[in-house]
Structure 1
Amino acid sequence: MREVFPNNKSKRVMAQRLNIEFTYSFFYHQKADWVSIHEKICQLLIPIRTSFPFFNSEKERKHGMEQLLHRQKHLVDFTHKVAQKFVFEGKHEEAIPAALHSLRFSIDTCGPDSVELVPAYLILAEASTGLGRLTQAEEYLSQAQWIVLKTSDCSNGIQSKLHRNLGLLYAAKGNFEESLYHLATDIYFASCAFGTHDISTSGGYFHMANVFFRQNKMDIADSLYTEVTDIWHAHFSRLIQVQSQTLTTLSCMLFIHLKCFILNIDEAQQAEASQVLNAILDIREQAPKQQPAKTANVVHALAMLHYLIFDFPKAHELGMKAFLITKQLPNQDASEAIHHLLKYIKSKLFYTK
């Protein structure tokens, strides 16, 4: 891995910068902090900030420490997911307090040099890039890269996310050649970790397509947008098939009551899928040369997304839109698949009225 940002800062300087960031977030953005994350974790913080009781035995003390560590790790994971969701939704200002909380809990749990800090640094970098604070984004990425470089067994997934963020930063700077290098590296590591056609890999294709789009290399961009759509479309199709098989013995009424227990896609994935697919749909619909089959595929994928998150009215609206587009095509295979989805949706709409 080439070292993009030379980093000679000491741990003391790093700690000082973190303290400045926390102070800035908590005292100048208290309202944003409360809205974005603090309200959600307020009750979870109570047992962590409460002083330990007197333990009668070493066994009780050990159990108490294990419980504390478990709660801290839960907070790391929860705040990270909230921050990631905000980033996918384009709410970069709201993402920063949540990501700072995640970073602080990670430091408390794992120490200041652990690879477990990298995901929080990367979200902070992506949010800063989204806000146009490129110098700040570089500093966060410098910290993340320094940890990755000194971690001999750093996972492919972490390295993928690091290079994706470097690609986004260079794209924001207008350095498209360097951006494409890092996005290609992101796709390589993501493919090693998850496979070439996994939704975790699709983000690299999407951001690379955006770079080619900005360079007016429309044929390459179109191919990559198609790949991203196909990956999400196949993913949602599998989830619907699994869900359908799981629920064959349940009535639709029971299905509605149990929906909170059988969601197949978390909020961060929902936000990512919605952001990516709606962006591609806008590009498809505004293109000088229309491609109805590809447009229908995106709309069908969005209809499946809304079906999976139990937004049946929106799923029906999008399903009908995709169905009408495919009825004009010579190949009716897609039309038949959409027709089956509409039948599923209508059966659920009946029970949600």
Structure 2
Amino acid sequence: MNVIYPLAVPKGRRICCEVCEAPAERVCTACTVTYYCGVVHQRADWGSIHEKICQLLIPLRTSMPFYNSEEERQHGLQQLQQRQKHLIEFCYTVAQKYLFEGKHEAAVPAALHSLRFRMNVHGLSSVELVPAYLLLAEASLGMGQIIQAEEYLSQAQWTVLKSTDCSHAIHSLLHRNLGLLFMAKKNYEEARYHLANDIYFASCAFGTEDIRTSGGYFHLANIFFGLGKLDIADTLYIKVTEIWNKYLNNHYEVLLQVRTQQIDLLGKQFETDTGLDEAQEAEAIRTLTSILDIRESTSDKTPRKTVFVLKTLALFYFLTMNSTKAQEYALRAFNLAKQRHLSLQEQTTTEELLSLVSGGKAHPTTQ
């Protein structure tokens, strides 16, 4: 992360900080196209996203080469746009992952990059800007900056209202973040309204049993849990766990079928995975461990539900090839099932899962 001060700025060009857009005093020497107001924001950007995309920014922020024909020029422009689209999604996923991990400050520079690339590709009033505004709003809420969050959400709402072609998925994200805002303001009635809308629009886009819909159920459950309405919260936590469990089991089934006959040249079977991006994996960890904490605090009453979450986490870590954690959660599930004298079927399926994650070949029947 070496830095130098910019020696010259072209006339008419205003050099701004990558993070706050204040006048810049420093430049990254690795790419020489990214500027900062000072060392604090440079370090923040580097740790968040810049280290990952430093060299990718050079062709985007330097003059295009001379082309011999209009055809070559158009091809160059298309390549430039493809690079920006790639960075839109990459920066968005990185910011999402930080948010699910609770690293709200680290999410901001990555979300800002996604927003700026969206503006370059889609224009200043496109509905494609909304997901980035919502990331910034959620990061602001996480840092306790409610007024800043409201500003980002207002911008997102206004953009959606002006749009004639806004997808159900974006409506879902907007309502989810409005729900989180009102939760932070302790206006739980308004929060429930927006989270119900989140679930409706997510269900329209993905279906009621999709992992992308489960976030709405999870946040709604947290509201009811906080209000002491434990029966409603419990029903929703069960639904969230079932959605993730079904997804992971189905994914394992598909991978098992593919792997049955597919052996690589070294004779080693193809490795498994979750089929999720980094942000979705971080969401799974946050959601399931949060539910586990709640289950374990009431495990005397609901040991079977606790075992179910433990088995779901074990399968998740098995698919992410983290054998240590997979075995840890499977063993905890097995021990709890035996200690609490759960049904023979429950103990058997838990033992099968433990065998699977420990290197055996039993099927992960985690229901």
TM-score range, shorter chain: 0.7 to 0.9
Which one of 129, 132, 140 corresponds to residue 120 of structure 1?
A: 132
Return the offset for 1:348. Answer: 7.8
Which position in structure 2 is the counterpart of 1:139?
151
Give the counterpart letter for 1:102 in structure 2: S
- Greater shift, 246-255 or 190-199, is seen at 246-255
Return the offset for 1:217. Answer: 1.0
- Alignment partner of 1:322 is 2:333: yes
Return the offset for 1:254. Answer: 6.0
- Alignment partner of 1:331 is 2:343: yes
Which one of 310, 313, 335 corresponds to residue 302 of structure 1?
A: 313
What SS does the corresponding residue of 1:317 show, helix, strand or coil?
Answer: helix
Which one of 50, 57, 68 corresponds to residue 69 of structure 2?
A: 57
Give the counterpart letter for 1:104 in structure 2: R
Assess if the C-alpha contact under 8 Å between 1:316 and 1:345 holds in 2: yes
Return the offset for 1:161. Answer: 0.4
Return the offset for 1:48. Answer: 1.3
Which position in structure 1 is the counterpart of 2:278?
267
Determine the C-alpha separation between the residues in 2 that align with 1:272 and 1:114.
Answer: 27
Q: 1:287-316 CA distances to partner (integer Å, 9 max, x unpaired)?
A: 275301100111111101101110011101
| Unpaired segments ≥5 residues, structure 2 | 1-16, 24-34, 362-367
- Alignment partner of 1:41 is 2:69: no
Change (3 A) 1:288 1:336: closer
Which one of 267, 277, 292 corresponds to residue 288 of structure 2?
A: 277
Assess if the C-alpha contact under 8 Å between 1:239 and 1:264 holds in 2: yes
Return the offset for 1:210. Answer: 0.7
CA radius of gyration, larger in: 2
Q: 1:108-152 CA distances to partner (integer Å, 9 max, x unpaired)?
A: 111110111011000000010111100000000001011111112
Give the counterpart letter for 1:48 in structure 2: L
Give the counterpart letter for 2:290 in structure 1: A
Which one of 22, 30, 41 corresponds to residue 42 of structure 2?
A: 30
Assess if the C-alpha contact under 8 Å between 2:140 and 2:146 holds in 1: yes
Change (3 A) 1:259 1:45: farther
| Unpaired segments ≥5 residues, structure 1 | 1-17
Assess if the C-alpha contact under 8 Å between 1:194 and 1:201 holds in 2: yes
Which one of 90, 93, 98 corresponds to residue 105 of structure 2?
A: 93
Q: 1:152-188 CA distances to partner (integer Å, 9 max, x unpaired)?
A: 2200000000000000000000000000000000000
Give the counterpart letter for 2:277 in structure 1: D
Determine the C-alpha separation between the residues in 2 that align with 1:253 and 1:20.
Answer: 48
Determine the C-alpha separation between the residues in 2 that align with 1:295 and 1:203.
Answer: 20
Relative contact order higher in (CA < 8 Å, ≥ 6 apart): 1
TM-score for both structures, normalised by structure 2: 0.85
Which one of 339, 342, 358 corresponds to residue 346 of structure 1?
A: 358
Give the counterpart letter for 1:293 in structure 2: R
Return the offset for 1:256. Answer: 6.9
Q: 1:194-246 CA distances to partner (integer Å, 9 max, x unpaired)?
A: 11111001000000011111111111111111111111111111111111111
Assess if the C-alpha contact under 8 Å between 1:323 and 1:339 holds in 2: yes
Which position in structure 1 is the counterpart of 2:184?
172
Return the offset for 1:265. Answer: 1.8
Which position in structure 1 is the counterpart of 2:215?
203
Assess if the C-alpha contact under 8 Å between 1:247 and 1:255 holds in 2: no
Return the offset for 1:250. Answer: 4.0
Change (3 A) 1:296 1:330: closer
- Alignment partner of 1:154 is 2:173: no
Determine the C-alpha separation between the residues in 2 that align with 1:344 and 1:50.
Answer: 53
Assess if the C-alpha contact under 8 Å between 1:22 and 1:100 holds in 2: no
Count of aligned pairs: 331
TM-score for both structures, normalised by structure 1: 0.88
Return the offset for 1:341. Answer: 2.7
